[in-house]
Structure 1
Amino acid sequence: MIQIPRGTYDVMPEDSGVWQKIEEVARETCALFNYKEIRTPIFESTDLFQRGVGDTTDIVQKEMYNFTDRGERRLTLRPEGTASVVRAFVEHKLYGDPQQPVKLYYIGPMFRYERPQSGRNRQFTQFGAEALGSKDPAIDAEMIALALTFYRKLGLKKLKLVLNSLGDPESRKAHRDALINHFKPSIGEFCSDCQERLEKNPLRILDCKKDHGHPLMATAPSIIDYLTDEARDYFEQVKLTLDAIGITYELDPTLVRGLDYYNHTTFEIMGATGSAISTLAGGGRYNGLVSELGGPETAGVGFALSIERLLIALESEGITLQTGNQLDCYLAAIGAEAEKKAAVLLHQLRQNGIRADKDYLGRKVKGQFKAADREQAAYVLVIGDEELANGQANVKNMTDGSQERVAFDEVSTYLKNKINH
């Protein structure tokens, strides 16, 4: 028997309604903030992610699904969404759009080869947003507000926002030199990845999962101490905007995120996932990424979140989403002639926007009512010899058990008046 690949999963019909509800809330939230949807390819040039994500990151070094196609092109299943969005921004010259900043969002599958565990799969679904074309600190705060609004619209309450600044290029260089001086005397005690990153990108050492308990990690120089006056002022403006709109946060000078393109503001939103608190969403500013991918100097900021981790957080807080996938009406027919009439009425109901279905297995009436219960149908429309003779259906309200006779040509109007979608 052929089985599903490790690290992937099937979303079965009984669960897909929850996914649809989450995606609906994501789109509604983005509309409130005036973000428009963008859909990019699932695979892109490998070079896009090497340049965009950073060749010293775990994603590029260990986790990408790379392949060569029949034209000998090096391609990669996208491991994250920002690089693809920025590539599209540059390729379609959206930097020339008169409406700036360009505000975009996406929902779709991403792929990373890593050890599968709760909330971490090899194929996972991200919802993310990007704003390109503004250096205003207020839009950093807006991005954070968008993510928090989305979570709160779904009912999550156990949320914590964590902030840091990675500063401007001058700040980063000074901090880089300090990190090299700090780790270099004892770098032999660290893993081979950290040893390789010492000169290439020492900031990545702080994000190492193997050596996070090493004593030098706790005493590593903080980027906050190396911020230029300009970078410090920028971060203060972000915090002041968050204060003004009532969003609370904690500062964490060790927060660096796992992608090389970040500068200035970085943030994570933490939430309850089972007995632990883990990262639900993360993002920040990436002012140099557009030019790195061939476009003009353009500021950018964004975030991404995992739908899978969101589902765990919803379960942890005991939140059940109302999906609205229940049937409005189930048609129970008794006899061959009634079956024919049921087929006609079923089509009419559907054409009038009523979610309806009928039996296709030749069940007895009792079995048809059981099927209606399983579908959580609001009404059951019964048609038998008597109903055919009278030109009326027997409509049963499955909530209170009441029944009414309704003429066949009035059934659609009757149910539309009863049902609110």
Structure 2
Amino acid sequence: MMNLKNLHNNWRKVILLSACFVLTLSVLPSCKKTSSKFGSEALDINDLLASGGVDTFDLKTYSVLEDSLTSDNQIFGMVGAYHDPKFGLVNASLYAQFTIDGLTQFSSGETLNTIDSVVLSLNYGGYYGKLGPQTFEVYQLTDSLGLTTDYYRNSTKTTTGINLVDPGSATQTPIIDDEKFVLGNGDSVNPQLRLRLDNSLGLQFINDILVGNTAFQSSDLFLSEQYFKGLKINVANTTPASGQGAIIYFNLLNSQTKMTIYFKMNGDTEQREISLKNTSKCADFNHADIDHTGYHIADVLANPLNGQTQFYTQSLDNRAVVEFPTVNNLKSNALINNALLYIPVSYQNGSYYYPSVTLEVGYKTDSGKIVTFRTASYDNNQKAFVIDLRDYIQDIVSGKAENRGLYLNQSSLYFNCTAERIIFNGPASPYKTRPKLVIKYTEFK
């Protein structure tokens, strides 16, 4: 992770750039405090700009890498690859445990007739990028997972090295938006990726149940005895062309996410099935390889001085930072009536690479922890996030808070389990919409 002290030292060498704020001076003994707009549906920076005189001060913008984000037991599992025209390559894979549901056994004297199929079904939760054919692979883990262990985006586990996916079902274009998915037997299920696996995996399970393996006595024993350590799910197409590919999201705790063994015992006229699911007792984590080589974001992450034209935030990888050091020049007796931070986004309607809906705003503590104190919603009309900072700026001016700038990232619910990213225009952007901090305040004698 970058050293923030060095970042601040570098900024001292930069010629100050400007952004707008509104200055209202008063010598009246009292005034009426303007109410905060925090929580309103949309904040318009132009309303505040039109309400008084204009002065200027600088904004400093850049991005910082995050190298210690846990990626285990998230809302979504991630699998796929895409080539972002502005961010580079993203390749995601999923490691997950599966377990039985209670006691699994057969009647005395039963014998196996045939394994019909083994199917891994993964309930869709969404995607990011451009949907197209991807070649999926599934490997059995040889290294165990732990529910209380922290896993990160660069964590890995060893596998047998044998791809279990039947070649006939490996390459698929996910159909995510259909209301229902109809199986071969006529059953209707939620949209899902269905991968047919090697029947040998099912044969191993059925034979061990028949001989009375104790792991099949309960879900807890199945996990604690590490009978089946889990699966790694990834794609073979790791380097798609620019503008191609997608990261697929899966709802792992959905009842239709499971590995199902379809089989017949001797004497059966109907097919039986045994399913393993990813439950709350199972561990899982997302692994992501992100390569920014050759893209502007790499320059910004290497040197914050490069973040004045554009700066970025990307799930599982980096956060945006906005600093406004000359706010410290406001006198301690100033009463902040309004303070809006306007950050325009580089996005064209209809692009596959849409900005995140919610932005979290926080500051960094002495221990390095990011503390979120605001959220903001993307305003497509203004093509920007407009963030109410009245209370925060007031605390800085009053000496209750240290001016350390702001850290911006997608909602923490999805920051570690999606591929979303945002491109922000910086103060030196060649485009006409640039970030600005607009403050209206009253100063007392």
TM-score (norm 2): 0.20
Q: Which has the higher strand share?
A: 2
Structure number with higher relative contact order (C-alpha < 8 Å, ≥ 6 residues apart)? 2
Q: TM-score, normalised by structure 1?
A: 0.21
More helix by share: 1
